[in-house]
Chain A
Amino acid sequence: MRPSVQEMIARSNGKKNKKAIEKIIPILLFLIASVSVLTSIGIVVTLIVETITFFTRVPFFDFIFGTTWLPFSNKDAQFGILPLIVGTLKVTLIATIVAVPIGISAAIYLSEYASENVRRILKPVLEVLAGVPTIVYGFFALTFVTPILQSVFPEIKIFNAISPGIVVGIMIIPMIASLSEDAMSSVPKSIREGALAMGSTKFEVAWKITVPAALSGIIASVVLAVSRAIGETMIVSLAAGSTPRFDGDFTGSIQTMTAYIVQVSKGDAGFGTTIYYSIYAVGFTLFVFTMVMNILAGYVSKRFREEY
């Protein structure tokens, strides 16, 4: 005779290992979820510990206010990070000039003008552009954009801030476009229709209604993209050169924070040397920059959101 349902339930409840599994699994999954927290802690602790070691050899104020970055000099090594920050800002500035107008315009087009068919083609194009590895962009900057710039402006050197700046800009366009488009798409249709009914043109609806309403999201997308540009490594390592400079020249070789870390890692900076610790100090500075930008983006999108 087949057992009744009650018997089956009773038998199943009697199985001990099933209860044990139900107890163990949540703990196991919690441990797995805490790996991401451990990673963050690991990053912060690693950077801080090695940076402190660095500051036992190089005074803190020489580091953050110094205008000469000369780590490889044997007798007169100097670690003033400002030239690397200036290099990073040069590339980021050009990238922002390229990416912000194009990215926001593309977002307006996609959310306000494009038909469903056009969107179906253009959105994947942006996704592909976002998925291209940065090393490929770096190759493109060095072998294509720089020669073109040189043929127009002969004073531009083979390594400069402009070409990687433009290419970093192209790289972050998809990010600005898709995040801004998300923000614009979430503006309610009724507001647009109200403006259209009052006789606004489509452009006026986009410019005076949608963009202001989605402004917090748009600004957040720009801040996130700038943070990405600051942390971008391969494009600047290949195309921007390795000359830390504290000046306003964009046409010659520069060095960014990220490119310095790559330059040292590529060579054999022995473990325990000041140069070895300097990449952590530079990495920590970079980390602070990007973290501040990311927190700012989160704050802007939360604090200034227009609720409908």
Chain B
Amino acid sequence: MRYIEQQAVVKRMNGRLIANSIFKYVFLAATLVALVALVILLYRIISQGMGHLSIEFLTNFASRFPEKAGIKAALVGSLWLMLVVAPTSIILGVGSAIYLEEYAKQNRITTFIRMNISNLAGVPSVVFGLLGLTIFVRAMALGNSILAAGFTMSLLILPVIVVASQEAIRSVPGELRDASFGMGATKWQTIVKIILPAAIPGILTGSILALSRAIGETAPLIVIGVPVIIQFLPAGVMDTFTALPMQIYDWSSRPQPEFQNVAAAGIMVLMAVLLFMNSIAVIIRNKFDKRY
């Protein structure tokens, strides 16, 4: 007597094997959708924007005429914005991370701060715009200045920097800490001279990625009333300004089709800036990876 009915097994087996091989390709195809979407997106933007991209485009101010429209004010404005956002968000983010990882006791306040940070990461950016409008633009009377926009953006990316810095600090081996304490260093000395230098690659990588999110954000800028048509460069942080995504938004929403090409060229500039920032992050990550 046979224990296994071969016929029945073979009959079931075929269907299972076919399902197995079909679904392998279904899953692969789904993964490739992401790749294809990215390729089409980049191809479309480059083919549309390439014709308009020139030195004049980078050095001209915005204009009613598509052939004269340039991105100078927006590019410089975005750099100014980064001058405010980078120090503000990194000091706040790294400071919070050091507190949470090194000083905070395991109590309710600490749990509350942690929970709060993860919830803050889920708040839509347009709501941060409403916060900026009320607190910075109106209550602190900063107007639609670089400072007001910079503070709003800093709060927006704060959770990202805190989480990245926490991970970087946590990954510093405990032996380093113990050795430093063993040599008689105080806590703050250990943090400044041992932990931060060891954690800096992770902190920088996370911060740069967060900043590249800030440079592409549009909604908060619109809500706090950042204008588009600016014919001068800001001279200080209290000046009004415009930024790359604002300019792109304006060009995209204009009815004339020529402005779509201008918008595509603007997007190329924005993407180039992002690519530059991301490659710095990747270089830092690779250069300092696995030192311990």
Please report A residues at the B interface, Cβ cutoff 8 Å: 9, 12, 18, 21-22, 25-26, 28-30, 32-37, 39-40, 42-43, 46-47, 50, 101-102, 105-106, 108-110, 112-114, 122, 125-126, 128-129, 131-140, 142-144, 170, 173-174, 177, 201-204, 206-207, 224, 227-228, 230-234, 237-238, 258, 261-262, 265-266, 271, 279-280, 283, 286-287, 290-291, 293-295, 298
CB distance from A212 to the nearest CB of B (A): 16
Query: CB distance B186 to A18 under 8 Å?
Result: yes
Residues on the A chain within 8 Å of B187, using CB: 22
Instruction: Please give, as numbers and ranges, the residues of chain B lying within 8 Å of A142 by CB-CB distance.
Output: 252
Chain A residues whose C-beta falls within 8 Å of the C-beta of B33 in the assembled complex = 102, 106, 173
Contact of B113 among A36, A43, A279 (CB under 8 A): A36
**Residue of chain B at shortest CB distance from A293:** B122
Are the C-beta atoms of A133 and B218 separated by less than 8 Å?
A: yes
Report B's interface with A, CB cutoff 8 A.
16-17, 19-20, 23-24, 26-31, 33-35, 37-38, 40-41, 44-45, 48, 91-92, 95-96, 98-100, 103-104, 112-113, 116-120, 122-131, 133-135, 138, 155, 158-159, 162, 184, 186-188, 209, 212-213, 215-219, 222-225, 245, 248-249, 252-253, 260, 263-264, 267, 270-271, 274, 278
If the complex has contacts A32-B92, A224-B122, A233-B124, are A265 and B129 also in contact, measured as CB distance less than 8 A?
yes
Q: Which residues of A contact B38 (CB under 8 A)?
A: 125, 128-129, 132
- Which residues of chain B have C-beta atoms less than 8 A from A230's C-beta? 124
Q: Within the assembled complex, what's the spacing in Å between the Cα atoms of A137 and B216?
A: 11
* In the bound complex, CA of A25 to CA of B267 (Å): 43
Within 8 Å by CB of B116, from A37, A204, A207, A238, lies A37
Q: Quick one: closest A residue to B44, CB to CB?
A: A144
- Write out the residue numbers on chain B whose beta carbons fall within 8 Å of the beta carbon of A231: 123-127
Please tell me if the beta carbons of A40 and B116 are within 8 angstroms of each other in the complex: yes
* Cβ 8 A contact of B99, one of A30, A46, A173, A207: A30
Complex CA distance for A200 and B120, rounded to whole angstroms? 43
A9-B184, A122-B31 in contact; A33/B135 too (CB < 8 A)?
Answer: no
Q: How far is the CA of A28 from the CA of B26 in the complex (A)?
A: 54
B219 touches A37 (CB 8 A): no
9 A-B Cβ contacts within 8 A?
A: A32-B95, A39-B120, A40-B119, A43-B123, A47-B130, A131-B212, A132-B216, A234-B218, A279-B130
Query: Do B126 and A262 touch across chains, with their CB atoms under 8 A apart?
Result: yes
Q: How many A-B contacts at CB < 8 Å in the complex? A: 249
**Given contacts A36-B113, A128-B38, A133-B216, is CB(A283)–CB(B31) below 8 Å?**
no
What is the CB-to-nearest-CB distance from A165 to chain B, in angstroms, rounded to a whole number? 14
Q: Is the CB of A37 within 8 A of B270?
A: no
Contacts of A298 in B (CB 8 A): 118
- Report B17 CB to chain A, min CB distance, Å: 7
Contact B253 A286 (CB under 8 A): no
* Chain A nearest Cβ from B16, distance in angstroms: 5
- Which of A35, A110, A258 lies in contact with B31, CB distance below 8 A? A110
| Chain A proximity of B227: nearest CB distance (Å) | 10
- Chain A: minimal CB distance from B190 (Å): 11
Kindly list the 9 A-B residue pairs having the minimum CB-CB distance in the complex, ordered from nearest.
Answer: A231-B124, A133-B216, A105-B30, A32-B95, A109-B27, A29-B99, A201-B20, A233-B219, A294-B122
Return the contact of A42 from the options B135, B249, B270 (Cβ within 8 A): B135
Q: What A residues does B24 contact at CB under 8 A? A: 113, 202-203
- Tell me whether A177 and B122 are in contact (CB under 8 A): no
Among A37, A113, A174, A237, point to the contact of B112 (Cβ < 8 A).
Answer: A37
Q: Which residues of chain B have C-beta atoms less than 8 A from A102's C-beta?
A: 30, 33-34
Q: When the two chains form their complex, are residues A26 and B99 in contact, meaning their CB atoms are under 8 A apart?
A: yes
Given A33-B100, A136-B267: A131 touches B130 (CB 8 Å cut-off): no
Q: For B95, what are the chain A residues with a Cβ–Cβ distance below 8 Å?
A: 28-29, 32-33
**Closest CB of chain B to A4's CB: distance in Å?**
14
Q: Give CA–CA (A186, B120) in the complex, Å.
A: 26
State A230–B38 Cα separation when bound (angstroms): 22
**Nearest residue, chain A, Cβ from B282:** A124
Do A36 and B162 contact each other (CB < 8 Å), given the known contacts A26-B103, A262-B219? Answer: yes
Of listed A12, A28, A36, A206, residue having the most chain B CB within 10 A = A36
Q: Are A261 and B263 in contact (CB under 8 A)?
A: no
In the assembled complex, how far is the CB of residue A235 from the closest CB belonging to chain B, in whole angstroms?
10
Contact A136 B270 (CB under 8 A): yes
Is B31 a contact of A105 with CB atoms below 8 Å? yes
CA distance A37 to B104 in the complex (A): 15
A98 CB, nearest partner CB in chain B, Å: 9
- Please tell me if the beta carbons of B20 and A203 are within 8 angstroms of each other in the complex: yes
By CB atoms of chain B within 10 A, which of A101, A201, A280 has the most? A201
Chain B residues whose C-beta falls within 8 Å of the C-beta of A125 in the assembled complex: 34-35, 38
Contact call B252/A283, Cβ cutoff below 8 A: no
Contact of A106 with B31 in the complex, beta carbons under 8 Å: yes
Of A46, A113, A140, A291, which one neighbours B41 at CB under 8 angstroms?
Answer: A140
